[in-house]
Amino acid sequence: VSVRAGRLMSLMFPSTMLVVNLSSVAVLWFGGHRIEDGHMEIGALTAFLSYLMQILMAVMMATFMFMMVPRAEVCAERIQEVLATDSSVVPPAEPVTELRRAGHLELRGVEFRFPGAEEPVLKDVSLTARPGETTAVIGSTGSGKSTLLGLIPRLFDATDGSVLLDGVDVRDLDPALMAESVGLVPQKPYLFSGTIASNLRYGRPDASDEELWQALETAQAREFVERMELGLAAPIAQGGSNVSGGQRQRLAIARALVRRPGIYLFDDSFSALDYATDARLRAALAQETGDATVVIVAQRVSTIRDADRILVLDEGRVVGSGTHTELMASNATYREIVLSQLTEEEAA
C-alpha cells in the first residue's frame, strides 16, 4: 500500500505542477496579445495571474490532503490504542514507602509467561542476592536472563512466585522508592538529549560536579569526557547517537553510580567494551559497590567468573548455582558455555 501511495504521489505532484505552469504560460500568452491590442491593462493581467496561482495552489494543497488524511487517521487510531491500553504494572493501593535499605534481594519460585505464550519464559526460578556480594546470571541466548533482571525493578510482574526487596514484595513498593533502591543499566542504554552532566544527574539531581567526575572515573569514562571540548557540558544527542556504543554503556553505568542505590543491576552492560576496559571497570566497580548488592547478566565468561555466586539458566530454568570452580566441575551447561569462549587452561 505504501509503495502504491508513493507511486501515486510521484505521478500527482509533477502533474499538478505541470498544470500550474502551463496555466501561467497560457495566461501570459493570451494576455500579452490582448495588452498589445489595447484590450487589457498590464495590472489586470497581473491580478488575473495572481488569482489563478492562488486557486491552483489551493487545488495542489487539497491533493496533498487527500494523501495525508488517510495516513493521519491510521496513525491517530494506533496512538489511541496505545493510550487506551491499561498498564499491566499497576501501582499498589497502599504502597510501602520505607525500607530497611539492607539491599537484600530474593526471588522465590518465580515464573513469567508473556500473554498468549504457550510456554513460560522463566520457570520456578529462585535466587538470593545479599549486600556485599556479586551474583551473576549466565545462559544461552533466549534463556530468560534479561527477563529475570526486568522482574526486579518491576518492568513487568511475575505471573507466579514473588520478588522480594528487603523482605517486601516489589508489587507492594511505592514506585518512587523502587527507583531510589534499584539502579538498572540496560543492555542497550539510552541517553537523553542534553549534556553529559544532565544525563548523569538523572540519577541524582543534586549531585556535585566532583561526584559526577568520580562516577565517570569508576565507569572508565573520565578519559574520553575530558577529551571533549566542553567536558561535563558536552552535548549529547537524543539516544546518545553522537557517542559510541561503549561510551554509551560507560555513561549509563556512571549514571547508575551517581544515584548510589542499594542494588545494582547490570544487564550485559559490558558487552561493547574491550577486555582491558572491562577488567578495569569491574575492578573499580568492586571498590565502589562493595557494600551494595550487585546482579550481573552477561554472555562473556570473563565478566562473571569472579562473582560470588553464578546462576546458570537454560530454557528458563535454573540448572546450576555456585562459583566458577564449582560449576566447572559439576555443571555441564556452564562448562559448555565456558569452553565455547575459553580453552581448558584459560578456564582453569
pLDDT tens-place string over residues 226-254? 998 888 999 999 988 888 888 999 999 99
pLDDT category at 342 given cuts 50, 70, 90 is: confident
Quote the pLDDT of residue 298: 85
Quote the pLDDT of residue 77: 94
| Segment 188-199 mean pLDDT | 91
Sequence-distant (6+) residues with CB within 8 A of 187 are 146, 267, 268, 269, 271, 297
Quote the pLDDT of residue 199: 92
SS3 at position 319: strand
| Segment 20-48 mean pLDDT | 85
Q: Which amino acid is at 294?
A: V
DSSP structural state of residue 117: -
| Segment 29-41 mean pLDDT | 84
Sequence-distant (6+) residues with CB within 8 A of 193 are 236, 237, 238
Quote the pLDDT of residue 212: 92
Torsion from C-alpha of 25, 26, 31, 33, nearest 10 degrees: 100
Nearest to residue 128, comparing CAs of 109, 105, 96, 111? 105
Quote the pLDDT of residue 235: 92
Q: Within 10 Å of residue 168's Cβ, how many Cβ atoms?
A: 17
Quote the pLDDT of residue 286: 85
pLDDT digits (tens, 9 = 90+) for 63-110: 778 778 888 999 999 999 999 988 888 888 888 888 877 788 999 999
DSSP structural state of residue 239: G
| Segment 317-345 mean pLDDT | 86
State how far the Cα of 242 lies from the Cα of 263, in Å rounded to an integer.
30
pLDDT higher than threshold 80 for residue 2: no
Nearest to residue 338, comparing CAs of 290, 294, 303, 288? 303
Nearest to residue 240, comparing CAs of 272, 185, 192, 202? 192
| Segment 155-181 mean pLDDT | 89
Quote the pLDDT of residue 348: 65
Sequence-distant (6+) residues with CB within 8 A of 104 are 129, 130, 131, 164, 165, 166, 167, 293
> Any idea which of 63-72, 203-212, 310-319 has the lowest mean pLDDT?
63-72
Q: Which fold has domain 105-347?
A: Rossmann fold (3.40.50)
Q: Within 10 Å of residue 308's Cβ, how many Cβ atoms?
A: 13
pLDDT digits (tens, 9 = 90+) for 103-149: 889 999 999 998 888 888 999 999 889 888 899 999 888 888 889 99
pLDDT category at 27 given cuts 50, 70, 90 is: confident
Cell numbers for 260: 548510589
Quote the pLDDT of residue 347: 65
pTM of structure: 0.76
pLDDT higher than threshold 90 for residue 12: no
Quote the pLDDT of residue 210: 92
How does the average pLDDT of the chain come out, rounded?
87
| Segment 318-339 mean pLDDT | 88
